[in-house]
Structure 1
């Protein structure tokens, strides 16, 4: 049979780049031509028959339900009422690389629709055809803009330029996907919802997206996301620690790319489809989110040239990965065909040029010079995400010392003023060149509650009303368990559940300590008693139901501190080995096992 070969989108140009840029969504919505074509192309994909191979439904369904074969990939096996096993690779070394051709598939089909639509414009043909050629799937940089623009989460209609040249309002395909029909494989509550929802108001057919709750939740997540990304990009240098949320990664003290990805899924979904990997791919924001996950892969790779996919356990396998196999750079990334006879491999995804796109951070860089690229990207990372930390270094450094990057805390991406850099810096270190990065490490069995849930971290009093938890000044951050509610239909998920797979994440505490404590220092002798007195945690399900800590016996919250040192002339800090302070949480339900 003939397969749909994933080449990515090709053609077009961006000044200073080898391939057209994927653009940040806040910038993208301001570009009339590209946004107009994007909205129409996404609408066309969404209105295609759900049985069509390249319909939005079929592409979204690759990620989970309805667990049917896509483009001839996978073999039959009757297991627990289903003859298919799914393509799920969450929790394995393949998480970042599997999603790269996945987003490229979406982008390729989107690009094809946009090119066809551009040909229907009655005026300025060249202008619209160029816009279509340049069009790539935009990304949402949640590490700077935790709340997407209204065109993504608020507006049910958007105004675009139509093929006849008029400006007109059309239904916004980014707001929700409309099922036509709801697939019979969907479990409750998804079987009752005609559209995708974010923070649904109920489990019934009358449920709506609660935009205000969604916005409030995302706003409270900003500091945690920014701190986590900065720590990931600057402190992690091995593939196991970077790639996935399993704890056996060599002892890193920050969340992996997958763990950060998980809690963004949870905060967007709030009990809707994005909270659940079995149906998350149907929400149009999924591809904005994963384009940024892919961008983070590119940024991290630039900072760690030559480091890529390593071998690791397959977690029982998928339709195309054998039982008990070891996965690695040569494992086929099914169902994504690279040719008529072979799938993409992780070893083929080390750069984006073969798939026809790049990101703005790489414009103007000589990509044949890894050292120069690393230096340039390091400066960019500091400008975008290093505000509070670089600000603290700058404030603590002697005026005559060239130890810090005082400008870094004031610079940000053009589309956003950047993370909060007005927090009072805390003087640290004997020469003003080091500080401690405090964090709460959270480990918990992923499938213990049978669905997605969150562990919330607080410093100070916790409101009695759970509805106020995320809005409370004492709220610090969250670790999300991104759990398939249809795990019995996914071979990988079934095995992980049976084996008691543990997920790991970190909530960074320095920003909250600075804001709440009044201590004036991050030194362990000062911070340890404060955290022992003020640190606490709670658990909530995706549907916001509170969970008794006794019902999650696997939970372990333990505090660690990592000394960061900014060397003379350096842009990014060096990270020491994490020091664990078990006594801070020992003796409490869900605390450290031993002191």
Structure 2
């Protein structure tokens, strides 16, 4: 039986009547009172996720408008920094296991602070289920109060937190934020030719950002970060950028929810990788270890295999959803019904995503410069691959699943993360993408050499509609990309290429 229960932050209306939040605030205050080089301090743990301590202009830590007042000294030794700091795994199949270990370590330090302050010895980190209905899309009110019930300053209150409209009204928009990733059946692509990273992210070594996010990371993770952080004038919120995000106390409740979603996805019967390179972590290929300073003064060098199931750990979640298996076939059932195909004998196995090989259908001709009014890309289509798509749709049946079609927005680069882009194809809205992590991914000295971010969107519906309307005999598609918020002249954003792929499904 689990020792600790992580409860919903919206219990008791998300106010300080929720004792989990009141003790969280007090514990955060205790950790914030410690020095930057103290391995149990709030600031040290934030730097473990990412840091901009040496930068002299915003978002350099010393320039962040408080509260909180963020220290930039004393810094630990270079060896300690190299061991612990700048570890967060993004655009990687290590995204969820690394963040799970990170939460476990911080939770231990917070729990000790709670106990030292006279709180319960079974306190656990709450989660913010913004997809839970009944108004939970709003940030819990305990995070918006400047003072605790006793009149002391509230450590959960953050100045640089602006929301999706930049007006300090903090909530997330549903849609485009959703839990659709929970219907995925594939953790990561089955081979190097797949166009998609699956639920958990693409195969990688140690990855501190750059390239392609997994579906859970893309939505809701990245979108929630940017919408909560937001921007106002030339300042963006802490949650909007990985190098400052973990300074905001709502960060950890957001990640507890992402961790809960992974646990629920596993409870549906979906499997994590069995590849030794995932189970053993990046050290399997000689890369950097995952290291956490623990509450007893030891260092925990952990691997994904140690944290890949809640059954191996000492906590669980209130209201852990275990949706019924038929939901796995839901998307394919809807697609076949739309295409006029009988689904009476459709099985769960047929609905499983096989992650088969992909082929380029077409791409635009040159890089694009994104401005506030958006940009349009004319994507030229190749005849033979398009013919293959048409044939797969014409012969579609429950034993012959037609091709999936994906739009790739490749090598997006820029110097600000606090924005989302709306994407449409032939004037049909497809989805939003979040620029969370863009700044780091664009740095030439970064982990992926400044190649930026790449976004992969499912546009199968667009091609199904063209097929139904007998309009798939086309030469090009118009892809429009429009930012949700204005792009200042100082925030240059470019797009390397817009391309379209077909992905063959196993029969």
Q: TM-score, with normalisation over the residues of structure 1? A: 0.55
C-alpha distance in 2, partners of 1:381/1:141?
Answer: 23
Residues 1:210 and 2:210 aligned together: no
Offset from partner CA, 1:410-456 (integer Å, 9 cap, x none): xxxxxxxxxxxxxxxxxxx999999989765334225x224436442
- 5+ unaligned residues in a row in structure 1: which ranges? 1-16, 78-82, 120-128, 161-167, 177-194, 202-208, 363-375, 406-428, 462-473, 514-518, 563-575, 579-595
- Judging changes above 3 Å, is the alpha-carbon distance between structure 1 residues 108 and 508 closer, same or farther for their aligned structure 2 residues? farther
Tell me the SS of whatever aligns to 1:457: strand
Q: Counterpart in 1 of 2:301?
A: 343
Residue of structure 2 in register with 1:23 after alignment: 7
Label 1:85 to 1:115 Cα distance change in 2 as closer, same or farther (>3 A).
closer
Deviation at 1:358, TM superposition (A): 1.1
Deviations 1:94-124 (A, max 9, x none): 222221111112211222222233x3xxxxx
SS at match of 1:107: helix
CA distance in 1, matches of 2:319, 2:44: 32
Q: Does 1:53 find its partner at 2:39?
A: yes
1:230 aligns with 2:230: no
Partner residue in 1 for 2:318 = 360
Aligned counterparts, 1:419-430, within 5 A: none
- Asked whether the 8 Å contact 1:454–1:479 carries over to 2, the reply is yes
Task: Note the C-alpha offset of 1:54.
Answer: 1.9
> Structure 2 CA distance, aligned partners of 1:73 and 1:548?
32
- Displacement of 1:386 in angstroms is 9.5
Aligned to 2:258: 293
For residue 479 of structure 1, the aligned residue among 399, 414, 433 is 433
Alignment of 1:62 with 2:62, yes or no, is no
Partner Cα separation in structure 2 for residue 537 and residue 392 of structure 1: 25
Alignment partner, residue 496 of structure 2: 554
Q: 1:525 matched to which residue of 2?
A: 468
2:223 pairs with one of 263, 283, 301: 263
Alignment of 1:537-576 (within 5 A): 537-540=480-483, 544-545=487-488, 552-558=494-500, 576=505
Distance 1:432 1:355, change over 3 A: closer
Q: Given the alignment, which residue of 226, 236, 239 partners 1:274?
A: 239
Are 1:437 and 1:508, in contact at CA under 8 Å, matched by a contact in 2?
no
Point out where structure 2 has 5 or more consecutive residues left out of the alignment.
55-72, 191-196, 206-211, 231-235, 349-394
Mapped to 2, the partners of 1:144 and 1:20 lie a distance apart of 21
Q: Hey, what does 2:27 align to over in structure 1?
A: 41
Change (3 A) 1:172 1:555: farther
In the alignment of these two chains, the number of paired residues is 418
Q: 2:455 is matched with which residue?
A: 504
In structure 2, C-alpha distance between the alignment counterparts of 1:386 and 1:59, rounded to whole Å: 41
Instruction: Give the distance between the partners of 1:456 and 1:230, measured in 2 at CA.
Output: 22
Q: CA offsets, 1:151-185, max 9 Å, x none?
A: 2587325775xxxxxxx666543331xxxxxxxxx
CA contact (8 A) 2:164 2:228 kept: no
Q: CA–CA distance in 1 between the matches of 2:466 and 2:426?
A: 19
Q: Pick from 129, 137, 142: which aligns with 2:125? A: 137
CA distance 1:380–1:397, shift in 2 (3 Å): same
For residues 440 and 174 of structure 1, do their structure 2 counterparts lie closer, same or farther at Cα, with a shift above 3 Å needed? farther
- Residues 88 and 392 (structure 1), Cα distance of their counterparts in 2 relative to 1, 3 Å cut: closer
- What SS does the corresponding residue of 1:278 show, helix, strand or coil? coil
Provide, for residues 453-505 of structure 1, a one-character-per-residue CA deviation record: whole Å limited to 9, x for no partner: 644213676xxxxxxxxxxxx754222243364679x9xx8243526265333
Task: Give the distance between the partners of 1:154 and 1:529, measured in 2 at CA.
Answer: 51
Residue in structure 2 matched with residue 198 of structure 1 by the alignment: 162
Aligned mates of 1:76, 1:18 — CA distance in 2: 33
Does structure 2 conserve the Cα–Cα contact (< 8 Å) formed by 1:397 and 1:432?
no
Distance 1:86 1:34, change over 3 A: closer
Residues 149 and 388 from structure 1, CA distance in 2 versus in 1: closer, same or farther, beyond 3 angstroms? Answer: farther
Aligned-pair distance for 1:53? 2.8
- 1:416 match: none
Distance 2:76 2:25 in 1: 26
Cα 1:400/1:75, change in 2 over 3 Å = closer
Residues 340-419 of structure 1: pairs in structure 2 closer than 5 A: 340=298, 343-353=301-311, 355-360=313-318, 377-379=322-324, 382=327
Q: Alpha carbon RMSD of aligned pairs, Å? A: 5.3
Question: For residue 458 of structure 1, what is the aligned residue in structure 2?
Answer: 424
Take 2:491 and 2:152, find their aligned partners in 1: how far apart are those partners? 46
**1:220-250: CA deviation from partner (whole Å, max 9, x where unpaired):** 423xx233x134x3354668633335799xx
SS in structure 2 at match of 1:113: helix
- Alpha carbons 1:199, 1:268 under 8 Å: kept: yes
Take 2:237 and 2:342, find their aligned partners in 1: how far apart are those partners? 51
